Amino acid sequence: MVATLHDVAQIAGVSIKTVSNVINDHPHIRPATKQRVLEAIAELDYHPNLSARSLRSGRTGMIGLALPELSLSYFAELADAVIRSAERHGVTVLIEQTGGDRDREIGLLSSPRRQLTDGLIFSPLGLGNDDADFLKVGYPLVLLGERVFGGPTDHVTMRNVDAARAATEHLIRQGRRRIAVVGAHDGEVIGSAGLRLRGYREALDAAGIPFDPALLGFTTLWHRSNGATAMRELLASGVQFDAVFGLNDTLTLGAMRVLQEAGLHIPEDVATIGFDDLDEAQYSLPTLSTIDPGREEIAETAVRILLERINATDPASPPREILADFRVIERESTATHGGAGERMRASAAAGTVGETGASAPARAGVTALS
Amino acid sequence: MVATLHDVAQIAGVSIKTVSNVINDHPHIRPATKQRVLEAIAELDYHPNLSARSLRSGRTGMIGLALPELSLSYFAELADAVIRSAERHGVTVLIEQTGGDRDREIGLLSSPRRQLTDGLIFSPLGLGNDDADFLKVGYPLVLLGERVFGGPTDHVTMRNVDAARAATEHLIRQGRRRIAVVGAHDGEVIGSAGLRLRGYREALDAAGIPFDPALLGFTTLWHRSNGATAMRELLASGVQFDAVFGLNDTLTLGAMRVLQEAGLHIPEDVATIGFDDLDEAQYSLPTLSTIDPGREEIAETAVRILLERINATDPASPPREILADFRVIERESTATHGGAGERMRASAAAGTVGETGASAPARAGVTALS
DNA sequence: CTCGCATAGTACAACGTTGTATGGCAGGCG
DNA sequence: CGCCTGCCATACAACGTTGTACTATGCGAG
């Protein structure tokens, strides 16, 4: 049988409330008493009953993490980071998979399971900006991603426009002028695709390179296969290009296979850069240049401000919009000057991992916009 | 304010216990009473308080899933499957990451968090067969993986030996005689590497092919980079081979990059087959033949028998060892007769996914060994 | 000496639920 | 008519914890 406060109190010869006070570090406890209680706790290997505690206190010590699907690498790595960060803060994470389905996302916001968590970190995929009202919920909520802006909750996301511009500028600096895009969504203004495409266009404008719609490869989903398909269509269209900006790593890796299948060399014929800095991008052949969108930092920040909301005593302060820092990570797929092949082979032979070139300096730190 | 049984009882004009009885489908309730109660519940949008319920009942409705790391694709896909399966059974999954660290794995078995769950599905990586005693815990536990056999708990795993033999036989049927292995662990007897290597040797023996230790590529970790390194070493050693059996998909994909980098064609020069059937294996170039180890079935079975234990009224029945079904999935990386390239391109061009050839029939269904 | 105050500890109730025991009220049987 | 049985519903206690209110003691100041 597992020990309770009552058992501890009996052994220590005090009331159960005193034991509770010791556990919760209340003031006004004689050191000798405290000592006896702690010994009794150790003797019985007592651990507080979490159900009773949360019934009494209204707190569960868990936070929810709602995301589309763990089998998408980006979200698996995000979940990993959130769990580790939550652990550092002493809370537990309950993961919910939505499948990116709008109805499930909405349902989950008022699911009875919300009782099990003190707050929610929510990365929607099906929700749109018009659905912002659904986010008015009675518990702390931190939004991730690019589906909803200006909602009623704290929002942690990445500098999509700036980062995409930096990625494009990086290609331009390597002398590339005809930069194809893989993963565009037609007509989208917000959402990852819309924002990243905007950054791409800003970079072109700044460099005086005309925007050519023929260079856009469209695809709704962002799986590896979609990147491959979009690239095949680009190749079939006959449009000329010397670089590819894939709107995420998975797409880009799919596109790279098709390029290589077609006999093109990366980076000599076509340089490629992705977005997300998946673990996988360090191991592809060639290794993939990409944007580190600050996933670790997003996870850490989301957990931190969620816990701030949970622990806040004063009533609601206005929602915050927080943008993570990003970095351009230069690897073999955009290596510049001759010898790229050499370098590739050398680094590969050593079994090393990682960043061939220097990273561009970060463009901005974490900043609260409001 | 959120409604309680008390509020519902007041509106329906009954006692709170009657409301509780309605919710829990107790017998002996007049239809008219039930009707009134249900209406009151609907009116107040009442949901039972889960903390109170679990305090009272000792059940949480959650199960734990302990695994090394979500950012390893195999475990991300496993977690996905477990969560979906648990959902079908009406329970929630709490994921714990161990990092594959033995001490953390041991600690987790007696962590206070175990209170939050009614049982645990545990996939250890650091634990060894000598640690079986740690698995004697006071709650339902289902073990996954190949680290511990003959322990005191139910165990769900895959037919590593049979599946590895089938994979090797598949290569032999294609006329391959010099089959390299990537991912071997020196001297390991149990564990995924040890078992799969045994299957490999059984297949060789059965076909009368001598075992050549020079064909073994060793690597402790099973990341993509390790597969690449092991393959580089094999190539450097000058040993001749016409096929590669990678002990998991990630390793195999790493090895394939190195083969292609060396100018070898897959499957013409070297056929490759992996193990795990990761989503990624459907999208590689060429698509990767592999073993479907029955991950979905393992997840489903683990959840099911864990819930059986949780709901069991009778005292402990003896531990069960359950082996999932497997399938050989034949894709481009082991396509036989000329035209493989054609087929590859065709399937690729159509943007299709999946299994180029027919799957071998399953070797065995889910079976309880004891 | 009494008052006020800080310290140290306790008793009780409450969080919301469910198991157990119990109470009426029919109807059927001796 | 009294008793038992089955049906329906209720009251009460309990799960283990913590907040509130309270008592008791010691100590310095008025």
Chain B interface, mutation test: which of A283, A343, A347, most B Cβ atoms within 10 Å? A283
Q: Could you tell me if residue A42 is inside a domain?
A: no
- The SS3 assignment for A14 reads coil
More confident residue, A316 or B281: B281
Q: Tell me, yes or no, whether A284 and A301 share the same domain.
A: no
User: Is the distance between the Cβ of B236 and the closest atom of strand C smaller than 7 Å?
Assistant: no
Q: Tell me, yes or no, whether A169 and A258 share the same domain.
A: yes
Dump pLDDT digits (tens) for B81-139. Answer: 999 999 999 999 999 999 999 999 999 999 989 999 999 999 999 999 999 999 999 99
Handedness of CA B63, B67, B71, B73 (dihedral sign): negative
Task: Check whether B184 has a pLDDT greater than 80.
Answer: yes
Residue B122 to residue B59: CA distance in whole angstroms: 19
Q: Could you tell me if residue A185 is inside a domain?
A: yes
Q: Could you tell me if residue B195 is inside a domain?
A: yes
Taking CB atoms within 8 Å and a gap of at least 24, the contacts of B83-89 are B83/A70, B83/A95, B83/A97, B84/A97, B84/B299, B85/B299, B85/B300, B85/B303, B85/B304, B86/B303, B89/B303, B89/B304, B89/B307
Q: Tell me, yes or no, whether B254 and B340 share the same domain.
A: yes
Give residue A336's pLDDT.
78
Q: Tell me, yes or no, whether B261 and B192 share the same domain.
A: yes
Give residue A315's pLDDT.
67
Averaged pLDDT, A292-318: 91
* Chain A environment of B71 (Cβ under 8 Å): 73, 76-77, 80, 279
Q: Tell me, yes or no, whether A259 and A183 share the same domain.
A: yes
Out of B94, B228, B282, whose CB is closest to A92? B94
Instruction: Identify any residues that bridge with A119 across adjacent strands, giving them in sequence order.
Output: A63
Task: Check whether A350 has a pLDDT greater than 90.
Answer: no
For A172-197, b where at least 16 C-beta lie within 10 A, e where not — what string? bebebebbbbbbbbeebebbbbbbbb
Residue A306 to residue A119: CA distance in whole angstroms: 7
Task: Check whether A135 has a pLDDT greater than 80.
Answer: yes
Give residue B2's pLDDT.
85
User: CATH number for the domain including B15?
Assistant: 1.10.260.40
What is the three-state SS of chain B? CCCCHHHHHHHHCCCHHHHHHHHCCCCCCCHHHHHHHHHHHHHHCCCCCHHHHHHHHCCCCEEEEEECCCCCHHHHHHHHHHHHHHHHCCCEEEEEECCCCHHHHHHHHCCHHHHHCCCEEECCCCCCHHHHHHHCCCCCEEEECCCCCCCCCEEEEECHHHHHHHHHHHHHHCCCCCEEEEEECCCCCCHHHHHHHHHHHHHHHHHCCCCCHHHEEECCCCCHHHHHHHHHHHHHHCCCCCEEEECCHHHHHHHHHHHHHCCCCCCCCCEEECCCCCHHHHCCCCCCEEEECCHHHHHHHHHHHHHHHHHCCCCCCCCCEEEECCEEECCHHHCCCCCHHHHHHHHHHCCCCCCCCCCCCCCCCCEECC
* Under 8 Å between Cβ of A129 and A191: no
Q: Could you tell me if residue B126 is inside a domain?
A: yes
Q: Could you tell me if residue B54 is inside a domain?
A: no
Please count the other Cβ atoms lying within 10 Å of the Cβ belonging to residue A2.
11
Q: Tell me, yes or no, whether B197 and B143 share the same domain.
A: no
Q: Could you tell me if residue B332 is inside a domain?
A: yes
Averaged pLDDT, A209-218: 97
More confident residue, A338 or A156: A156
Percent of chain A with pLDDT over 70: 90
Dump pLDDT digits (tens) for A281-291. Answer: 988 888 999 99
State the nearest Cα–Cα gap between A165 and chain B, in angstroms: 28
User: Is the distance between the Cβ of B15 and the closest atom of strand D smaller than 7 Å?
Assistant: yes
Out of B71, B92, B283, whose CB is closest to A77? B71
Q: Tell me, yes or no, whether B213 and B225 share the same domain.
A: yes
Q: Tell me, yes or no, whether B265 and B170 share the same domain.
A: yes
Number of domains in chain A: 2
Q: Tell me, yes or no, whether B255 and B334 share the same domain.
A: yes
Residues belonging to chain A:
370
User: CATH number for the domain including A141?
Assistant: 3.40.50.2300
Distance B28 CA to C28 C1' (A): 20
User: Is the distance between the Cβ of A30 and the closest atom of strand C smaller than 7 Å?
Assistant: yes
Out of A47, A257, A351, whose CB is closest to B112? A47
Give me the A residues in range 266-285 that sit within 7 A (CB) of strand D: none
Task: Check whether A9 has a pLDDT greater than 80.
Answer: yes
Give residue A190's pLDDT.
86
Distance B91 CA to D6 C1' (A): 36
User: Is the distance between the Cβ of B55 and the closest atom of strand D smaller than 7 Å?
Assistant: yes
Banded pLDDT at A261 (limits 50, 70, 90):
confident
* Chain A environment of B3 (Cβ under 8 Å): none
* Under 8 Å between Cβ of A22 and B88: no
- The SS3 assignment for A300 reads helix
Averaged pLDDT, B140-161: 95
State the nearest Cα–Cα gap between B345 and chain A, in angstroms: 9
Q: Tell me, yes or no, whether B248 and B318 share the same domain.
A: no
Banded pLDDT at A359 (limits 50, 70, 90):
very low
Q: For residue B183, give both structure tokens.
A: 């991912």
Please count the other Cβ atoms lying within 10 Å of the Cβ belonging to residue A97.
23
Q: Could you tell me if residue A52 is inside a domain?
A: no
What does residue B63 show for φ and ψ, rounded to 5 degrees?
-120, 150
| Weakest mean pLDDT among A351-355, B152-156, B208-212 | A351-355
What does residue A266 show for φ and ψ, rounded to 5 degrees?
-110, 125
Dump pLDDT digits (tens) for B338-370. Answer: 443 333 333 333 333 333 333 333 333 333 333
Q: Could you tell me if residue A71 is inside a domain?
A: yes
Dump pLDDT digits (tens) for A80-133. Answer: 999 999 999 999 999 999 999 999 999 999 998 999 999 999 999 999 999 999
What's the CA angle centered on A221, arms B348 and B357, to 5 degrees?
30
Averaged pLDDT, B238-263: 94
Give residue A211's pLDDT.
97
Out of A54, A84, A283, whose CB is closest to B51? A54
Are A283 and B116 inside 8 Å of each other by CB?
Answer: no
Give residue B223's pLDDT.
87
Give residue B280's pLDDT.
87
Give residue A187's pLDDT.
86
Give me the B residues in range 288-327 that sit within 7 A (CB) of strand C: none
User: Is the distance between the Cβ of B337 and the closest atom of strand D smaller than 7 Å?
Assistant: no
Q: Tell me, yes or no, whether B23 and B136 share the same domain.
A: no
* Pick from B278, B271, B229: nearest CA to B249: B278
DSSP string, A64-130: EEEES-TTSHHHHHHHHHHHHHHHHTT-EEEEEE-TT-HHHHHHHHT-GGGGG-SEEEE--SS--GG
Q: For residue B297, give both structure tokens.
A: 């079935």
* Pick from B207, B102, B106: nearest CA to B165: B207
Banded pLDDT at A172 (limits 50, 70, 90):
very high
Averaged pLDDT, A332-343: 62
Residue B249 to residue B289: CA distance in whole angstroms: 9
User: Is the distance between the Cβ of A22 and the closest atom of strand C smaller than 7 Å?
Assistant: no
Residue B122 to residue B64: CA distance in whole angstroms: 8
User: Nearest nucleotide (C1') to the CA of residue A51?
Assistant: D16
Percent of chain B with pLDDT over 70: 90
Please count the other Cβ atoms lying within 10 Å of the Cβ belonging to residue B43.
13
Percent of chain A with pLDDT over 90: 78
Are B73 and A76 inside 8 Å of each other by CB?
Answer: yes
Q: Domain range for residue B115?
A: 62-158+295-324
Q: For residue A125, give both structure tokens.
A: 């995929």
Banded pLDDT at B337 (limits 50, 70, 90):
low
**In this structure, are strands A367-368 and A321-324 parallel, antiparallel, or unpaired?**
antiparallel
Averaged pLDDT, B203-218: 97
Q: Tell me, yes or no, whether A165 and A261 share the same domain.
A: yes
Instruction: Identify any residues that bridge with B93 across adjacent strands, giving them in sequence order.
Output: B63
